Homo-oligomer: A and B are copies of this chain.
Amino acid sequence: MVTLKDIAKKCGVSVASVSKAINHMPGVGAQTAKKIRETAKSMGYLPNAAAQALKTNRTFIIGVLLEDDDSHGLLHQFFVSVLDSFKFKMEEQGYDLMLMNRTVGKRTISYLEHCRYSNMDGVFVACIDFSDPELLELADAGTPMVTIDHTYPGHPSVYSDNVDGIRKAVRYAHEKGHTRIAFISGAPAGVTNKRYEGYEGMLKELGIPVREEYYKVSRYRDVKLTKELTAELLTLPEPPTCILMPDDYAGLGGLAAIREAGLRVPEDISVIGFDGLEYMAHISPRLTTVYQDVKRIGEAAAELLLKRIDNKEKDTPAKSIKVPVSLIEGETVVPPQKS
């Protein structure tokens, strides 16, 4: 490993000068600086991250918290897509992403402890259970942090326009002639509330009565439960003609329930998803769904976090960004049959 010392020796200068030259700091002559930088390059010098971190208290490491009930957050298409975009933007700025966990050096610790141990410059959080006490602890700790789909006071966040997303879905269904529109939501959470708000609001706006039996609470990404709830909806005396699913993936359960009930999508019943996952475009029938702009969400998160890291001292109020959604027309919504 080649160090500043090696370069210094070769150039016949002090390590201090080498450091300054390499970091383009004043206090070293243009000539010398050039020579130093050249030999540094020729020797294949690379700074030592640990030493730099120790001295400067900057690691250029961003912790990534992607957890769900089963701690397999990496398997969530939506979150991973956002992360992918976030990653791209952060790497551009020289940051590294580290997956956070609760085990360091064979001991079990908290997220906050992991964050402090590794001296992370910031944290990216996207997961389901935002009420986890460990997360609250982390949020209180003062490390720059950005969250997806939830806002902690004092921290920036990014989220889709969930209200509008469901509004768009309901309006679209209505335009196609539906009035018996059911909504299976995800588990109670900020996002879920917003979506329900959109559902109820739009129905009222359209003069459609809000029927309690048309609203069911499932869980995000829960195929099985969503399938069951869909089956329940289908057995209502007056079943809905269109169902909004918690998300695309859970919606697969809904589609299965409809199929097993001997009904067809969309002829007998229309379905609308949420997320707009990549692979959904390839399955049949192509799901009509509310698209969340994962690329934009990830980028926005990166921007906010970067700003936060730079202005650590200045207590600018934490900004939140709402990202517009759009409706992807698939093949799962057609005018309801006359019944």
A184 to B80 Cα, complex, angstroms: 29
> Cβ of A59 < 8 Å from any Cβ of B?
yes
> Cβ of A111 < 8 Å from any Cβ of B?
no
Report the minimum CB–CB distance from A242 to chain B (whole Å): 19
Given A80-B80, A252-B282, are A47 and B103 also a contact pair (CB < 8 Å)? Answer: no
Tell me if A117 and B49 are in contact (CB < 8 A): yes
Tell me if B48 and A54 are in contact (CB < 8 A): yes
List chain B residues, Cβ under 8 A from A49. 50, 53, 117-119
Tell me if B50 and A282 are in contact (CB < 8 A): no
> Cβ of A305 < 8 Å from any Cβ of B?
no
Tell me if A80 and B91 are in contact (CB < 8 A): no
Tell me if A94 and B104 are in contact (CB < 8 A): yes
> Cβ of A284 < 8 Å from any Cβ of B?
yes
Stretch of A26-34, A81-89, A167-175, A196-204 on the interface side: A81-89
List chain B residues, Cβ under 8 A from A92. 103
Question: CB-defined interface of A53-64 with B at 8 Å, one 1/0 digit per residue?
Answer: 110000111000
Tell me if A50 and B59 are in contact (CB < 8 A): yes
Tell me if B91 and A81 are in contact (CB < 8 A): no
Question: Which of B60, B72, B84 meets A105, CB within 8 Å?
Answer: B60
Tell me if A99 and B101 are in contact (CB < 8 A): no
Question: Which of B96, B99, B103, B282 meets A223, CB within 8 Å?
Answer: B282
Report the minimum CB–CB distance from A141 to chain B (whole Å): 12
Tell me if B99 and A87 are in contact (CB < 8 A): yes
List chain B residues, Cβ under 8 A from A1. 116
List chain B residues, Cβ under 8 A from A338. none
> Cβ of A283 < 8 Å from any Cβ of B?
yes
Tell me if A84 and B75 are in contact (CB < 8 A): yes
Question: Which of B72, B77, B96, B253 meets A104, CB within 8 Å?
Answer: B96
> Cβ of A9 < 8 Å from any Cβ of B?
no
A131 to B231 Cα, complex, angstroms: 51
> Cβ of A46 < 8 Å from any Cβ of B?
yes
Question: CB-defined interface of A116-130 with B at 8 Å, one 1/0 digit per residue?
Answer: 111100000000000
A48 to B120 Cα, complex, angstroms: 11
> Cβ of A249 < 8 Å from any Cβ of B?
yes
Minimal Cβ-Cβ distance residue in B for A76: B80
Report the minimum CB–CB distance from A143 to chain B (whole Å): 13
Minimal Cβ-Cβ distance residue in B for A59: B50
Shortest 5 CB-CB contacts between residues of A and residues of B? A50-B53, A252-B282, A50-B54, A94-B105, A94-B106
Given A94-B105, A98-B99, A259-B284, 9 more pairs with CB closer than 8 A: A46-B109, A50-B119, A74-B80, A74-B81, A75-B77, A80-B80, A91-B103, A96-B98, A283-B283
15 contacts between A and B (CB under 8 A): A46-B117, A49-B50, A54-B54, A60-B105, A74-B81, A74-B83, A75-B77, A75-B80, A87-B101, A94-B103, A97-B98, A99-B99, A249-B279, A253-B282, A256-B282
